[in-house]
Amino acid sequence: MGEKGEAFVTLTTNDAYVLGSLVLAESLRRVGTKRRLVVMITNEISETLKHNLHTVFDDVHVVDLLSSEDFKNLQLLGRPDLHVTFTKLHCWNLTQYSKCVFLDADTLVIQNVDDMFEREEFSAAPDSGWPDCFNSGVFVFKPNVDTYKSLLQFAATQGTFDGGDQGLLNRYFNTWPTNDIKTHLPFTYNVVSRPFYSYPSGLKAFKQNIKIVHFIGADKPWQHPYNYSSGVVTPLPDSRHDAEFLQYWWNIFIDSVQPTLNPSAEGLIGRLAALSVDNPVDSSIMPLEEIQNLDVKLKKNCEEGR
């Protein structure tokens, strides 16, 4: 099941993101990775989906929620849900592995990226919004409990400039922009799926080189309408996700993940599990109230120390 010393790691804090992590794991296997696949989860994950994760991942680790509680800065991003991304810091506690690559659950691996393990901590790709910062959706790190404790202390004293883990990690690993170009992953290792400004021409020119796609933004692939009969996903009207990348995600989901879901599940999971020849159209995204309820529940658990 891969080399014990090295692993790809992801995180999911709710059932919706389990869908992303399952597709991510399948995408890694399809490109022939030799490393172990690890997922960190919180107790918010339903028992049925925990079973799915144990089936697909080599190791499943239950971790406590960590919240930035910095809702003021998160409002600037329009993403209050990102307060739970501090939970990502638990990856430095995975000391049974010598080196890891962290991948957000809304990423998709297009080509083999095992060469990332040749990089050192802290290696990451430039953020498309502010290239002198790295994007924390993909990075190489070395698990170390001392680093974890240091990050928590840094968070308590210095905080985060964006309310989430990216602002914190950029402040902590603050020599990344200037210290060593070897820690700069090519942008093809973390390509944003939402083109803007000069982005479309670059996307066209270098698309064959893309290794990892990142579905940043509030709407995720699993929220877009899909027709089971035609096998086609329809991008949401206000979404700028590349249609080809969305289709790639859905092809993997329908082929390898959707058949394993429990049709009796509630909400989004049940609706997606019910897709079939007789019930071919999923015409609605995850309702806004479902997303808000998930966030309220996570925030409450953080406040209660759960």
pLDDT band at 198 (very low <50, low <70, confident <90, very high): low
Stronger pLDDT, 81 or 177, i.e. the higher one: 177
| Mean pLDDT for all residues in the chain | 86
Is the pLDDT score of 253 beyond 60? yes
The predicted structure's pLDDT at residue 86: 81
pLDDT band at 299 (very low <50, low <70, confident <90, very high): very low
For the question of whether the overall pTM of this predicted structure is more than 0.95, the answer is no
pLDDT, mean of residues 165-193: 96
pLDDT, mean of residues 209-220: 94
The predicted structure's pLDDT at residue 70: 40
The predicted structure's pLDDT at residue 30: 98
249: closest CA among 223, 267, 271?
223
Provide the percentage of residues in the chain whose pLDDT is more than 70: 84
Q: Where are the domains of the chain?
A: 1-306
The one-character DSSP state at 77 is H
Q: For residue 160, what are the contacts with CB-CB under 8 A and spacing of at least 6?
A: 68, 70, 73, 166, 167, 168, 171
* 168 phi and psi angles, rounded to 5 deg: -70, -50
Is the pLDDT score of 188 beyond 70? yes
The predicted structure's pLDDT at residue 140: 98
Q: Is 183 helix (H, G, I), strand (E, B) or coil?
A: helix
Tell me the HSE value of 120 on the side-chain side, using a 13 A CA sphere. 7
pLDDT, mean of residues 30-38: 98
**What is the distance between the alpha carbons of residues 235 and 55, in angstroms, rounded to a whole number?**
30
Is the pLDDT score of 113 beyond 60? yes
CATH architecture of 1-306: Alpha-Beta Complex (3.90)
Contact between residue 161 and residue 182 where contact means Cβ atoms under 8 Å apart: no
Q: What is the pLDDT of residues 61-107, one digit of tens each?
A: 999 887 544 433 334 334 344 446 688 999 999 999 999 999 999 99
The predicted structure's pLDDT at residue 83: 45
Contact between residue 285 and residue 225 where contact means Cβ atoms under 8 Å apart: yes
Give residue for tokens 């993101």.
17
Radius of gyration of the chain (CA): 18
